[in-house]
Amino acid sequence: MSLAPTRTAIPESILQDLNGHHTVTPAEIEYLRENGYVKIKNALTPETIRFFGEVVTDQVKRLNTLDLPMEQRSTYQKAFLQVMNIWTKNDTVKAFSFAPKLARLAAELLEVSGVRMYHDQALYKEPGGGITPWHADQYYWPLSSDRTITAWIPLQETRPEMGPLAFARKTHRMTFGRDIEISDDSEQLIQKTLKEARADIEETPFDLGEVSFHLGWTFHRAGANTSADPRRVMTIIYMDENIRAASPKNKNQENDLRDWCHNTSTGQVVDGPLNPVLWSQKS
Ligand SMILES: O=C(O)CCC(=O)C(=O)O
């Protein structure tokens, strides 16, 4: 797929937002350490969200390859339309996925000196779209440490009936379920374990401009979209700038090592062409 040149000029006020600084509070860092995720209100301006809501949606329409009727889809396919690494295909989206404001927020929350891109992805839960089963992302990633974090950026206000992302508090410390792929099984097994452990779940709506950050091992899910509106979300996955490749533990990690990590050798810093440093206190 060739790079589609950007024809959409980004207004100055939006560039200022993307290049700005959101001061992370010690309480937010502590919350993430304790709970494995944190939701941050007003991380981006409503103007930025509205602008990129249109830009990302155009790209999802252009690049999406899933057109099966809902009733013929698997549970995973019903959960969302998934379009990955849009930054490599559209320069306007690249400006969003590379936003220093978000990358610095990720680095400061992760308590690392800087972050690299793992990949970005749009996750659009269509009206009538199904649940996103419980899972932990890092099952998919051939990485040497737990210093990974996803920014989940709703491109509209996200009401409860649209399937806002839900988090199971403190589950980044659980060792159960780290070998389970997202599936009907993960939904059942993790749900059962969380119930037995009386895990505390946060499932709350997102305001316009609110962004959540969750660690790679935190269990999360989303409800079905029972509304008449699409739940449009852009996500950016960041990793510690010094993270190294680990030997793949499953087929998915083999694929990720090849597709997103330039087949980096085990033990080497993951610094392939798809993994630029997006923010570092060193630069
Ligand atoms: O958007 C969703 O429904 C799931 C998102 C998710 O699993 C993630 O961003 O890690």
Say how many Å lie between the CA of residue 9 and the centre of ligand 1. 29
Binding-site residues, ligand 1, Cβ < 6 A:
79-80, 123, 125, 132, 137, 150, 152, 165, 220, 222, 233, 235
Q: Is the pLDDT of residue 5 over 60?
A: no
Domains of the chain: 13-272 (2.60.120.620)
Please tell me whether residue 266 adopts helix, strand or coil conformation: coil
Average predicted confidence (pLDDT) for the chain: 96
* Structure confidence by residue, pLDDT tens digits, 167-221: 999 999 999 999 999 999 999 999 999 999 999 999 999 999 999 999 999 999 9
* Structure confidence by residue, pLDDT tens digits, 67-105: 999 999 999 999 999 999 999 999 999 999 999 999 999
Give the residue from 20, 209, 202, 6 showing the smallest Cα distance to 88: 6
Place of tokens 């400006």: 95
> Residue 237: phi, psi to the nearest 5?
-100, 125
Q: How many C-beta neighbours within 10 Å does residue 282 have?
A: 8
Count, in order, helices (H) and strands (E) of the chain: 8, 11
Give the pLDDT band of residue 7 (cuts 50, 70, 90).
low
Strands (E), 67-125: 81-84, 114-124
Report the atom number in ligand 1 closest to the C-alpha of 182: 7
Which residue out of 152, 162, 214, 233 has the highest number of ligand 1 atoms within 8 Å of its CB and is therefore the one to mutate? 152
Please tell me whether residue 87 adopts helix, strand or coil conformation: helix
Burial 37-63 (b: 16+ CB within 10 A, else e): bbbbeebbbeebbebbbebbbebbeeb
Q: Please state the rounded mean pLDDT for residues 215-237.
A: 98
Q: Please state the rounded mean pLDDT for residues 37-46.
A: 98
Which residue out of 84, 165, 217 has the highest number of ligand 1 atoms within 8 Å of its CB and is therefore the one to mutate? 165
Report the atom number in ligand 1 closest to the C-alpha of 163: 3
Give the pLDDT band of residue 1 (cuts 50, 70, 90).
very low
Say how many Å lie between the CA of residue 232 and the centre of ligand 1. 11
Tokens of 217: 């091992």
Distance CA 190, CA 166 (A): 13
Distance CA 217, CA 191 (A): 15
Tokens of 12: 């100055």
Nearest CA to ligand 1 atom 1: 123
> Residue 82: phi, psi to the nearest 5?
-125, 120
Distance CA 107, CA 102 (A): 9
